[in-house]
Structure 1
Amino acid sequence: MKHVTFLYTLLIPILLNAQNEGVTSYEIDLRVPEKDIFSEHLKLGGKNFKGTSYEVNNFYISKNEKPSIPITGEFHFSRYPEAYWEEAIQKIKAGGINMLATYVFWNMHEEIEGEFIWNGNRDLRKFIKLCAQYEMPVILRIGPFGHGEIRNGALPDWLLAKPITIRSNDPNYLSYAERLYDEIGKQIEGLLFKDGGPIIATQLENEYQASAAPWGLTYPGQPLDYTSAERDKDFVLNGVGTSTQENPYADLGTDHMRVLKSLAQQAGIITPFYTATGWSRGAIIPNETLPVTAAYPYPTWTKSPDLSPFYLYADLHKTPDYSPVKYTVSDYPAFTAELGGGIMATYTRRPLVPAKSLDALINRCLGSGANGIGYYMYHGGSTPRGQTNFFSDEAFGSPKISYDFQAPIGEFGNINESFHRLRILHYFINSFSEQLAPMQTVLPKNSESIKPADTVLLRYAVRFKDQSGFLFLNNFQDDTQMTTQKNVQVNLQLEEGNLQIPEHGGFDLAVDENAIFPFHLDIEGLHLNYATAQLMTRFENSGTTYYVFFSPEGTSAEFSFRFDESFKMLSNRSIEVDQNSRRWLVKPISTNKSLFTFTKGKKKTSILVLSKEKALKSWLIPGPTESQLLFTDALVLKNEDSLKFISKGKNDFDLEIFPKTKQVPRLSFGKLNKLQSMNLFTGFEVHLPEAQLEFTSSRFSERRLVFDFKGGIPESLNDVFIKLDYEADTAMGFYDNQLVSDQLYLGMPWEIGLRELINLKGAEEMNFYFRPIYKDAPYLVDLKESAYFTGSTGKVLIKDIKFIPQYQTSMSLLSN
């Protein structure tokens, strides 16, 4: 895709409301000065011996001199079983994530002073090597302070006993920080970017002078004592928010960050990028650290739900979220690296994060100029127990074990709806970031007057460069009900003429839906005036270039191409075409899938249009020269020479392949039946033998359940989940007299993966204890909207128990 230079004024007319009865028209003026992009001031980036290079300017990051948009997924290796790290990385990559962030929690590695632990689930080196194996770049968050809902924000308990000032340039504190960095440096030696390894960035400290965690050593009823330098205690926040006070010790904060960077480099931790928390006046090193920002629409550190501003478009390159900030905003890219990929429940607050809120948030951030996005968390986990205490942030009211976070990939590796909704957006970013990253944001004139409570006005923004760009639309807002957008037109006022989307009439956008519509884009030399469908990906196969679009829920797809005599459009019964001397107007007839093709000489360009429901089942399987799309309800993981399918609860599932193939794949386990001839796709039915589980449950009393796992998990399965539909205040699972799992009730069923417990620990029995919800519990403010919560208090309700097998099989990669 190339930027378009117009040679003549566009001829598509502007249709007024009088000519389009019932249409609601909006406009946006794109006749603005071009974005000023510069880089001389920044001491960031680098090149390794393999020739791979990273650069950064004030607007975007480049890899090998091409603009790119990092998509960062947070995953904590120390919160997940070492035996399943490889699968976790595969899942993260399958979701379209192109960079992984992970914490090195100091207290997990040096719980006892001077005794470092780097084995088992804390084997940092092994984890980074696995990231290298799957070509997954890493941001290493080295602390010393880490937060992450870890006890003391990852500071070891023994620091509280020392006569030092933490998180400051106190020489005694720095000596401990230096020792930590030296140990980390030894573990990652040879695995840094400069050595050809995957570690491309280092985060120094975390939320420094912005927020802190409570010390874990506390007393019931006592106000929390926060882990900040004494001088900063009056200025740091409880959680992520907007700072209202300017810290008079800000310069000391900058000095401390400089010292930490120096200590890290002395320890051999040398990376192209150093990042730092930029929100809420967080301290950075000017021009030497990349400030990253955050957005949490469902915070647990507020007293009740409220409408957040994070679903209203803004110019993040002028005003970041949680402003004011300490740095010069226009000097750095807008890297929204800590977006709430869910939220962690606390005892007093338990908001449910709807799956549709996540892709709406990313749409809004991209439309607002973000050139880097990241999720905290993307993959959940379980916080381990230490030798002396639980490592979880008990003082803050976190679960003692669970760190599910309602993330796209949950605590036990379970795939949630948000994973699929984000994946198709990640495909778009990964395919078109070279075009999107340099595009500046323009907002409509009324953007500043729209408030989160406004549910009727259209929310929209544009990113464009050289007259080419994307129209961003969002119809989601947290904690309220939006209005369906019906019969909407958007008029783009450009230097070279006006463009109306759509040409006639209007488009609809369903409640809670969002969309990204391209305009004036070059598609292999063919000029796309606009589309009311969302661009998902681009790939090559058998000499044809495929562009894949999908129709947002409630929206009819329409494509306007500039007429070009050098192209020939192949007739197709699945579309309607209106052609005149100016353009082809293409409307798919099928609401599920349609394909149409343009040819120019021997070159073929095909447009595949899917329903969003179909797109959510799509999996892009990249190859060295050719790629394919697979469609299935199963999770698809790519190995070097095979695909692994994981199907939760279904031993039979369909598999469709696009483009069509004559090959019949072979399964490692189970049977494959080819379906009758299908239009566009080659279809198969996968049949796996139904698992016979010997698991039982019994209710010992109102508050106690006993599960028997004798017989274990059959070797043919990937995992088995308990799905426990219950109602209680808290639920706790015990094995061998130890708490191994827990949940603060969220108003939804609890699913617990059993393979670690059974396969790794040899469990045959697990006992659960429940505590009833009490009247006027503070978290009832969050449960009231749940469809699962009946409102009962004072009793424990066990409504249903299921054991769900997770099937698996593999097949070799196909080629046409």
Structure 2
Amino acid sequence: MSNDVDRHDRIALTNRYVERDGRPFIPVTGELHYSRVPRGEWDERLRLMRSGGVTAVATYVIWNHHEPERGRPSFNGGLDVAAFVRCAAAAGLDVVLRIGPWCHGEVRNGGFPDWVQQAPVAHRTDDPAYLALVESWFAAIGEQLAPLCGPSSNVIAIQLDNELYDQPEHLTTLKAMARRHGLLAPICTATAWGGAELPEGEVLPLYGGYGDGFWVDADHDWDTTFREHFFFSHTWDDPGIGADLRDHPGIGRRPETPRLPSASFPAATCELGGGMATAYHRRPLLSGADVAAVAHNKIGNGSGWQGYYMYAGGTNPRPGLQESHASGYPNDLPEFDYDFHAPIGASGRLASSHAALRRQHAFLSAFGARLAPMPSTIPPVHPTSVDDVNTLRWALRSDGASGWLFITWQQPHVPLDTVRDVRFTVTLDGGTTVLPHAPIDVPAGTIAHWPLHLELGGVRVDWATASALTVLEGERPTLVLVAERGIPVEVATAATVAGDGSTRPAAGVVVVEAEAGPVRLELAEGDGRLDVLVVPAASADRVWVLEASGRRRLVLCDDAVFEEADGRLTVRAASVPVVEEYVPSMGRFEPVAVGEASPAGHSAVVVSAPKPGEAPPPPSYGSRAGRASAPTREDVARHATSWTLELPPERHGRRYLEVEWAGDVARLEADGVVVADRFWDGTSWTIGLDGLGLAHATELTLRIVPLHPEASVHLPAAAEAGRRATDGPLLALDDIRLIEAPLWRETVPVFE
């Protein structure tokens, strides 16, 4: 792969890391399913991924989206996968094609069209009758994509099937078939979790890690297979992922011999949970910090490839495409909603995880060439079980001379207390370093990666107690650090230091007072020069490092920022955004001028009086495998309370409907046709209206089924408290508003 067969102009593999243009590199892959996103919104979603530090978009090519009728595959409109690959290239993204033929992705039949699912063949094996079906599908994909593959392509990897555990020969067959139809990439991959047997040397094994999941029972505790990802470890297998579709054990316990990464390949992931899908019986909700903690631990564990599922949520393109009890799946999924609480939601708006992850990705972009070859070390004193909430979790990646200290003290469900009087002892080739200069307290929520013996611009930083973000070029480099909440910022260096907002409590140690705003230090060591910019913890979620234009830009903004094809900075916001860019030559942030005809903002929606359903909701709509079934369309019509909605006249900007509600299941209908749905988990529901194709006179109806107090559904803690505080069925429509957000484009560049 990549080195001898299907060689690529940019991408190659070693057993330790990926190479790009001959240098070590840590790719960041984010999953977006083009067939679940309106085609007119592909470009912006992809550019938001790029501005979030993602380097490659991964996507399933979902068979039953394309070929519901045998012999009539469609690649038109939102199914034009070739156009999607070209759109990704224009946004500066590589592509990982997950071609199946079985994908899952919570899609009906795992992605098989019904006619394939019902065919009298041995599915997902080398049965010639099955291979004949796949051959025609791969031929159809190849006709679309073969011209876009090859040594100069942005298609850098192809995943074969998904979660196939005991058919290594079949994966080899699929690889040969794909190549026969021109589906070429320097790297072929396969999912390795669950103890999967993979063909040696044929595929790069990929792993995953979710902080919580919908696939366990409603009354099941926070499973061990989820909890383990909040600890540093060199065990990469996760037996829980996909275990509800396997006969062998997974959920609740590990195999006796956990799977370790292959010695032939770098440790790599394709499914770090960017959030979590919602099933009817179990509705997990992870915070942005939870998502970031799992990803951060994988970097500390030695990851050579960060891959997220999902990074951008979506909506099923037609009714009946979801996995459900009706399709034989043990879990009922929403018919349309696949928001996943992802960093970029189904509507295109950002979740808090986007900010938390993009700081990690900026770090990987700036320092990945140094970090990628560095192995991971776990300290001798470390947590002994997933129940340990007292021992601080940290790890080291180092080449012996320099490195990075990773700290993650964050998890959901089980609270963590502040760890008092912490100092770290790290031994490298040059001796033992103890940091910081005096003990500190590490509060819950800390996710940090601190530099050790970092040299830039001829100046050495011995260590710092703030996370490295990026390096800006200029007359002299600028090392950008982001402070951690509740932890004093210290920079240890033998260089002379000038700059406001700093004190020197010990020889070679500078304490930076950055609470009030960014602080710049000027370091000089011999002929070397280095600026250090410390961004306050309070500004961390406003930080963007933009690189799509080829020039690294450090920007502060609360709203969604990306770069357009012409390199202009662009913001999606309902009101005039405040944007600042750091100018290294000036040593400060400067305002960025953005312009738009007029802001749109929030508008009231005219909502009719509620019309109650015919009957109160029952405690159950049935079950499968012991898991509660979702109400059918007939159940919704009978039990839901309904409201008609009248939207104000369209002005300009992308339109979102934001619904604050409580209940069980909600559905939005356009002229009586269901176009969107949601299972309640205590969060607001944002619906992107532009992708629904609504006419001006479309009649919108919102239906909410009340949640029975005895319904067997697992809710997040806050939502469950709301249910318990309500007598009888829970139902509320607290607010509904229309948000219109235009694009604000940079008019006068800070840099000429």
Task: Please give the range of the TM-score, normalised by the shorter of the 2 chains.
Answer: 0.7 to 0.9
Alpha-carbon shift at residue 343 of structure 1 (Å): 0.7
Task: Indicate if the aligned counterparts of 2:311 and 2:342 stay in contact, CA closer than 8 A.
Answer: yes
After superposition, the Cα gap between the structure-2 partners of 1:414 and 1:318, relative to the gap in structure 1 and judged at 3 Å, is: closer
Q: Which residue of 2 aligns with 1:779?
A: 713
Which SS does the other structure have where 1:653 is aligned?
coil
CA distance, structure 2, for counterparts of residue 624 and residue 798 of structure 1: 44
Bigger Cα displacement from structure 2, 778-787 vs 271-280: 778-787
Return the match for 2:67 from 110, 121, 133.
110
Which SS does the other structure have where 2:561 is aligned?
strand
Return the match for 1:311 from 220, 226, 230.
230
- Output aligned runs, 1:486-525, within 5 Å: 486-503=420-437, 505-525=438-458
Alpha-carbon shift at residue 81 of structure 1 (Å): 0.5
- Residue 141, structure 1, aligned to residue 98, structure 2: yes
After superposition, the Cα gap between the structure-2 partners of 1:595 and 1:745, relative to the gap in structure 1 and judged at 3 Å, is: same
Alpha-carbon shift at residue 604 of structure 1 (Å): 4.0
- Output aligned runs, 1:425-444, within 5 Å: 425-444=360-379
Which SS does the other structure have where 1:174 is aligned?
helix
Q: Which amino acid aligns with 1:748?
A: T
Q: Encode CA deviations 1:416-452: one digit per residue, 9 max, x unaligned.
A: 11101111111001111101111111112233x5222
TM-score (norm 2): 0.87
Q: Which amino acid aligns with 1:310?
A: H
- Residue 416, structure 1, aligned to residue 351, structure 2: yes
CA distance, structure 2, for counterparts of residue 318 and residue 277 of structure 1: 10
Q: Which residue of 2 aligns with 1:206?
A: 162
Task: Indicate if the aligned counterparts of 2:53 and 2:358 stay in contact, CA closer than 8 A.
Answer: yes
CA distance, structure 1, for counterparts of residue 604 and residue 282 of structure 2: 37
Which SS does the other structure have where 1:207 is aligned?
coil
Return the match for 2:302 from 366, 369, 388.
369
Q: Encode CA deviations 1:548-571: one digit per residue, 9 max, x unaligned.
A: 0011111111000134xxxx54x3
Task: Indicate if the aligned counterparts of 1:730 and 1:771 stay in contact, CA closer than 8 A.
Answer: yes
Which SS does the other structure have where 2:363 is aligned?
helix
Task: Indicate if the aligned counterparts of 2:110 and 2:323 stay in contact, CA closer than 8 A.
Answer: no
After superposition, the Cα gap between the structure-2 partners of 1:635 and 1:700, relative to the gap in structure 1 and judged at 3 Å, is: same
Task: Indicate if the aligned counterparts of 2:206 and 2:270 stay in contact, CA closer than 8 A.
Answer: yes
Alpha-carbon shift at residue 726 of structure 1 (Å): 1.1
Which SS does the other structure have where 2:19 is aligned?
strand
- Residue 680, structure 1, aligned to residue 680, structure 2: no
Q: Encode CA deviations 1:392-419: one digit per residue, 9 max, x unaligned.
A: 5454300000000000000110111110
- Output aligned runs, 1:721-732, within 5 Å: 721-732=656-667
Bigger Cα displacement from structure 2, 469-478 vs 70-79: 469-478
CA distance, structure 2, for counterparts of residue 808 and residue 42 of structure 1: 40
Which SS does the other structure have where 1:444 is aligned?
coil
After superposition, the Cα gap between the structure-2 partners of 1:125 and 1:626, relative to the gap in structure 1 and judged at 3 Å, is: closer
Q: Encode CA deviations 1:111-154: one digit per residue, 9 max, x unaligned.
A: 11111010011111111111121221111011110000000000
- Residue 336, structure 1, aligned to residue 269, structure 2: yes
Return the match for 1:360 from 268, 287, 293.
293
Return the match for 1:553 from 477, 482, 485.
485
Which SS does the other structure have where 1:330 is aligned?
coil
CA distance, structure 2, for counterparts of residue 771 and residue 631 of structure 1: 42
After superposition, the Cα gap between the structure-2 partners of 1:798 and 1:176, relative to the gap in structure 1 and judged at 3 Å, is: same
Which SS does the other structure have where 2:110 is aligned?
helix
- Output aligned runs, 1:461-500, within 5 Å: 461-500=395-434
After superposition, the Cα gap between the structure-2 partners of 1:138 and 1:685, relative to the gap in structure 1 and judged at 3 Å, is: closer
After superposition, the Cα gap between the structure-2 partners of 1:648 and 1:815, relative to the gap in structure 1 and judged at 3 Å, is: closer
Q: Which residue of 2 aligns with 1:55?
A: 12
Which SS does the other structure have where 2:477 is aligned?
strand
After superposition, the Cα gap between the structure-2 partners of 1:514 and 1:726, relative to the gap in structure 1 and judged at 3 Å, is: same
Q: Which residue of 2 aligns with 1:670?
A: none
Which SS does the other structure have where 2:356 is aligned?
helix
Alpha-carbon shift at residue 782 of structure 1 (Å): 3.4
Alpha-carbon shift at residue 328 of structure 1 (Å): 6.7
CA distance, structure 2, for counterparts of residue 147 and residue 317 of structure 1: 21
Q: Which residue of 1 aligns with 2:619?
A: none
CA distance, structure 2, for counterparts of residue 126 and residue 624 of structure 1: 21
Q: Encode CA deviations 1:232-290: one digit per residue, 9 max, x unaligned.
A: xxxxxxxxxxxxxxxxxx4xx11111111111111111110000010112232211100
- Residue 170, structure 1, aligned to residue 127, structure 2: yes
Q: Which residue of 2 aligns with 1:264?
A: 178
After superposition, the Cα gap between the structure-2 partners of 1:135 and 1:193, relative to the gap in structure 1 and judged at 3 Å, is: farther
Task: Indicate if the aligned counterparts of 1:44 and 1:289 stay in contact, CA closer than 8 A.
Answer: no
Q: Encode CA deviations 1:480-501: one digit per residue, 9 max, x unaligned.
A: 1001123310111334321001
Q: Which residue of 1 aligns with 2:624?
A: none
Q: Which residue of 2 aligns with 1:229?
A: none
After superposition, the Cα gap between the structure-2 partners of 1:168 and 1:624, relative to the gap in structure 1 and judged at 3 Å, is: closer
Task: Indicate if the aligned counterparts of 1:621 and 1:627 stay in contact, CA closer than 8 A.
Answer: yes
Q: Encode CA deviations 1:4-63: one digit per residue, 9 max, x unaligned.
A: xxxxxxxxxxxxxxxxxxxxxxxxxxxxxxxxxxxxx99777544xxx232212221111
CA distance, structure 1, for counterparts of residue 312 and residue 229 of structure 2: 22
Which SS does the other structure have where 2:308 is aligned?
strand
CA distance, structure 1, for counterparts of residue 471 and residue 312 of structure 2: 27
Return the match for 2:145 from 188, 205, 215.
188
CA distance, structure 1, for counterparts of residue 477 and residue 548 of structure 2: 14
- Output aligned runs, 1:10-159, within 5 Å: 47-48=7-8, 52-159=9-116
Q: Which amino acid aligns with 1:434?
A: A
Task: Indicate if the aligned counterparts of 1:747 and 1:787 stay in contact, CA closer than 8 A.
Answer: no
Q: Which amino acid aligns with 2:464?
A: A
Q: Encode CA deviations 1:364-413: one digit per residue, 9 max, x unaligned.
A: 11111111111100000001216xx4345454300000000000000110
CA distance, structure 1, for counterparts of residue 504 and residue 514 of structure 2: 10
Q: Which runs of 5+ in 1 are unaligned?
A: 1-40, 210-249, 663-678
Q: Which runs of 5+ in 2 are unaligned?
A: 241-253, 613-640
Which SS does the other structure have where 2:362 is aligned?
helix
Alpha-carbon shift at residue 193 of structure 1 (Å): 3.6
CA distance, structure 1, for counterparts of residue 239 and residue 119 of structure 2: 38
Task: Indicate if the aligned counterparts of 1:318 and 1:329 stay in contact, CA closer than 8 A.
Answer: no
Alpha-carbon shift at residue 478 of structure 1 (Å): 2.6
CA distance, structure 2, for counterparts of residue 585 and residue 690 of structure 1: 45
Alpha-carbon shift at residue 73 of structure 1 (Å): 0.1
Return the match for 2:600 from 683, 691, 708.
691
CA distance, structure 1, for counterparts of residue 721 and residue 521 of structure 2: 43
CA distance, structure 2, for counterparts of residue 625 and residue 465 of structure 1: 29
Alpha-carbon shift at residue 775 of structure 1 (Å): 2.3
Q: Which residue of 2 aligns with 1:630?
A: 555
After superposition, the Cα gap between the structure-2 partners of 1:773 and 1:274, relative to the gap in structure 1 and judged at 3 Å, is: same
Return the match for 2:189 from 272, 275, 284.
275
Percent identity, please: 27
Task: Indicate if the aligned counterparts of 2:561 and 2:572 stay in contact, CA closer than 8 A.
Answer: no
- Output aligned runs, 1:652-731, within 5 Å: 652-659=576-583, 680-683=588-591, 689-691=598-600, 693=603, 695-702=605-612, 703-709=641-647, 711-712=649-650, 714-715=651-652, 717=653, 719-731=654-666
Q: Which amino acid aligns with 2:300?
A: G
Q: Which amino acid aligns with 2:392?
A: L
- Residue 810, structure 1, aligned to residue 742, structure 2: no
Alpha-carbon shift at residue 585 of structure 1 (Å): 3.2
- Residue 197, structure 1, aligned to residue 113, structure 2: no
Which SS does the other structure have where 2:432 is aligned?
strand
Alpha-carbon shift at residue 319 of structure 1 (Å): 9.8
Q: Which residue of 1 aligns with 2:499?
A: 572
CA distance, structure 2, for counterparts of residue 327 and residue 315 of structure 1: 7
- Residue 390, structure 1, aligned to residue 321, structure 2: yes
Q: Which amino acid aligns with 2:680?
A: Y
CA distance, structure 1, for counterparts of residue 460 and residue 677 of structure 2: 55
State the number of aligned residues: 697
TM-score (norm 1): 0.81
After superposition, the Cα gap between the structure-2 partners of 1:788 and 1:64, relative to the gap in structure 1 and judged at 3 Å, is: farther
Alpha-carbon shift at residue 363 of structure 1 (Å): 1.4
Which SS does the other structure have where 1:309 is aligned?
helix
CA distance, structure 2, for counterparts of residue 419 and residue 186 of structure 1: 35
After superposition, the Cα gap between the structure-2 partners of 1:691 and 1:316, relative to the gap in structure 1 and judged at 3 Å, is: same
